[in-house]
Amino acid sequence: MEDGALEELAKNSMPCVGMEFDSEEAAYEFYNEYGRIVGFSIRRDYHTKSNKDGIVINRKRDLSKWVLMKFDDNHNHFLYISQCTHMMSSQRKLCNAQGINVDVADDTGISLKASHNLISALAEGKEFLDVDEMITTIFWADHQIITDYGIFGDAVSFDTTFRTNKEYCLLALFTGFNHFRMTVIFGAALLYDEITASFEWLFETFLHAMSGKKPISFFTNQNHEMAKAISKIMPKVFHGLCTFHLMQNALKHLGYLFKGGLKFGCNFKTYIFGYEDEHELVKAWDSFIHKYNLQENLWIKKTWELREKWAHVYMKLVYAARIRSTQLSESLNVELKRHLKVDHNIVQFFTHFNRVVMDKRYKEVKTIYDSRQQLPRIKLKISSMLIQVAKLYTPLIFDLFIMSYTHPFVVK
């Protein structure tokens, strides 16, 4: 619901002094509904009921009518956004039909978790994809993914390391970070191959789905065909190389230097992250090459040619949301392995994939709910700036801001 419509609904539902209700339950339901619209949970005050007839005996009653005597619309705590209202204590309930479904599921031996998933599916509905045996590449995104990308899509990680289904297709994932530093999905695709033309089609389709918005930075592994497609479709976007895959490639091509107590791995990481000045990096790299006798190593030469895509000194002014790696999808890949089977067809695959996406969205909404349970820790209360940003940032982002505020050279 749009903010304007929500505000109008809240205004029309606001309690007024003098309102009358036929019962305590009617008053409770009215105020609980108002709390749902505005974004706060309610609870009944302590009361005592008669053992004889169950009527409240320690509150004022007049001709069985309940009258609103006082109302204060000010709040001393955060209000919850509409996506979180179902998590509030006073809103956690099932309708009669859903309750019957749960009872039936229980009687037939279906687990509580399975019945919960059933109710969720019935409440939210399902979308189906068409099946065509001629499909070679398919891209998937829904309206929420498009919305998330519009908000958080300035830095994108693109990973193609997960393979699935009986055709051993490549699963390509577009991911990033949200305002809680949680992985957010910007799209998924099944690729038949890894040629430049396939990547060009995918990136064009991705940008078209996102209304043409291009990211500021785009991180991938060290794939030549992929790089060619990026330079053509997104020529002005910063293309960064995943530092994790860079180290994996170093281990693959120079594994012998990682053995025998040599500090090659640590030295290599230093050139990725440790230099602020370009001249110092070049000088140190030359020394590094001579130390390990790598002057003629083809992989080292190629990697150095691409240094502007992985060395911090060239990236310190590029907005990257501190990604630097495509490993954002690693935890997602683990979840996918639990849900997907090798014999799934396209429809089955995306049905199960959507379940993983919905699980991640629920965790995000739960995090939003939890973050509003208490105010961020303001460590330097004398700073008016920190007091201001504490009201704007999520707790995790606020802690990162505090770190950079107190130790400006720690956070890169």
Q: Is residue 251 part of a domain?
A: yes
Q: Is residue 120 part of a domain?
A: no
Domain extent at residue 31: 3-93
Q: Is residue 127 part of a domain?
A: no
Instruction: Summarize pLDDT for 319-374 with one digit per residue, the tens.
Output: 888 888 776 666 677 777 776 666 667 777 788 888 888 888 888 878 777 776 66
Instruction: Summarize pLDDT for 85-135 with one digit per residue, the tens.
Output: 656 666 655 555 445 554 555 454 445 455 555 444 444 443 336 344 445
Give SS3 for 300. Answer: helix
> Are 399 and 250 in a shared domain?
no
Contacts (Cβ under 8 Å, ≥6 apart) of 300: 253, 254, 289, 294
Among 384, 391, 182, CA closest to 405:
384
> Are 393 and 328 in a shared domain?
no
Q: Per-residue pLDDT tens, the chain, 412 aa: give them.
A: 556 665 666 666 788 887 887 777 788 888 777 777 777 777 766 555 666 666 655 555 555 677 878 877 776 666 666 656 656 666 655 555 445 554 555 454 445 455 555 444 444 443 336 344 445 678 999 999 999 999 999 999 998 877 654 445 788 999 998 888 888 999 999 888 889 999 999 999 999 999 999 999 999 998 999 999 999 999 999 999 999 889 999 999 998 898 877 788 888 999 999 999 999 999 999 999 999 999 999 999 999 999 999 999 999 889 888 888 776 666 677 777 776 666 667 777 788 888 888 888 888 878 777 776 665 555 555 567 776 777 777 766 777 766 665 555 444 4
Question: In one letter, which amino acid is 190?
Answer: L
Q: Which residues pair with 220 in a beta bridge?
A: 241
> Are 169 and 272 in a shared domain?
yes
> Are 242 and 345 in a shared domain?
yes
Distances (CA, A) of 26 to 15, 19, 22, 57, 72: 13, 12, 7, 17, 19
Angle between helices 278-291 and 264-273 (to 10 degrees): 160
Q: Is residue 278 part of a domain?
A: yes
Whether the CB-CB separation of 243 and 222 falls below 8 Å is answered with: no
Q: Which 8-state DSSP code applies to residue 216?
A: S
The HSE-up count of residue 284 (CA atoms within 13 Å, CB side) is 17
> Are 379 and 357 in a shared domain?
no
> Are 379 and 250 in a shared domain?
no
> Are 200 and 261 in a shared domain?
yes
Domain count, the chain: 3
> Are 86 and 168 in a shared domain?
no
Q: Is residue 126 part of a domain?
A: no
Q: Is residue 167 part of a domain?
A: yes
> Are 237 and 271 in a shared domain?
yes
> Are 316 and 380 in a shared domain?
no
Q: Is residue 347 part of a domain?
A: yes
Relative to beta strand 238-241, strand 217-220 is parallel
From CA 274, how far away is CA 301, in angstroms rounded?
A: 20
CA 390 to chain centre: 21
Instruction: Summarize pLDDT for 36-46 with one digit per residue, the tens.
Output: 777 777 776 65
Domain boundary, last residue among 36, 61, 93: 93
> Are 48 and 178 in a shared domain?
no
Query: What count of other Cβ atoms lies within 10 Å of the Cβ of residue 204?
Result: 15
Q: Which residues pair with 65 in a beta bridge?
A: 62
The DSSP string of 223-275 is -HHHHHHHHHHSTTSEEEEPHHHHHHHHHHHSGGGGSTT--HHHHHHHHHHS-
Whether the CB-CB separation of 202 and 218 falls below 8 Å is answered with: no
Give SS3 for 138. Answer: strand
> Of how many residues is the chain composed?
412
Whether the CB-CB separation of 259 and 265 falls below 8 Å is answered with: no
> Are 264 and 336 in a shared domain?
yes
Q: Is residue 194 part of a domain?
A: yes
